[in-house]
Structure 1
Amino acid sequence: MPHTVEWKVRLYLFEDEGTTKARVVVDTGATALTGRGVAHRNPADTDVPEIGDELAAGRAMRDLGQQLVDAAQHDVEGTGAPATGPGTRPETGWPM
């Protein structure tokens, strides 16, 4: 059964005196989630705003990604399916 949807994602970046803040919002049509990230420039480092943008945006997207995975996990558990993820696998094979 084919399934196609479009989610809208917006990324906002704010920089002020060596601190870059990022906010990324995904709108699924049914709900919206917001991820946040921050990057701080060491005063001794060269001022390259693009680096702060990349770090803050990446951290915000990582935060948003974890929220999406957590929401999916909650939804899976709501169906009565067994839990998945770290610590839920049987302890077999080589130790990590």
Structure 2
Amino acid sequence: MLACKRVPKEVTMTANEKTCQIDVQIEEQDERTRAKARFSWAGKTLVGVGLARLDPADEPVAQIGDELAIARALSDLANQLFALTSADIEVSTHEPVTRLHH
């Protein structure tokens, strides 16, 4: 199961390392879970959103809903970052990007 925790702000890095942080906020209301993943990089902030809901036929296990909503928020965030990167590559190369995803 997934566990979220805070990472200390001050981290020792070598000259070749970069760090970034993704903050995930989870809200539960009724039988719905919403996660927002916020990522700031190079002066831009992206926010991915993921939703999950409890199927009435399922047993309520809050952690599963949290995990699914977080996964969907991170997937949304990744898609936004791919789009941003693609646009940056096109500006740099003056060529359309045809294959960026792995």
Which category describes the TM-score, using the shorter chain as reference length?
A: 0.7 to 0.9
- The offset of 1:81, in angstroms, is 4.3
Unaligned runs of 5+ in 1: 87-96
Report the secondary structure of 1:79's partner residue.
Answer: helix
Partner SS, residue 82 of structure 1? coil
Structure 2 gap segments, 5+ residues each: 1-14
Residue by residue over 1:51-78, the C-alpha shift from the partner in whole angstroms, topping out at 9 and shown as x without a partner, is 1001100000000000000000000000
Q: Tell me the distance in 2 between the aligned counterparts of 1:31 and 1:74.
A: 14
The match for 2:95 is 82
Q: Distance in 2 between matches of 1:4 and 1:83?
A: 30
Query: What is the percentage of aligned positions where both structures have the same residue?
Result: 29
State which structure, 1 or 2, has the greater radius of gyration over its C-alpha atoms.
1
State the superposition RMSD in angstroms. 1.6
- Contact (CA 8 Å) 1:7, 1:29: kept in 2 or not? no
Which residue does the alignment assign to 1:33?
A: 46
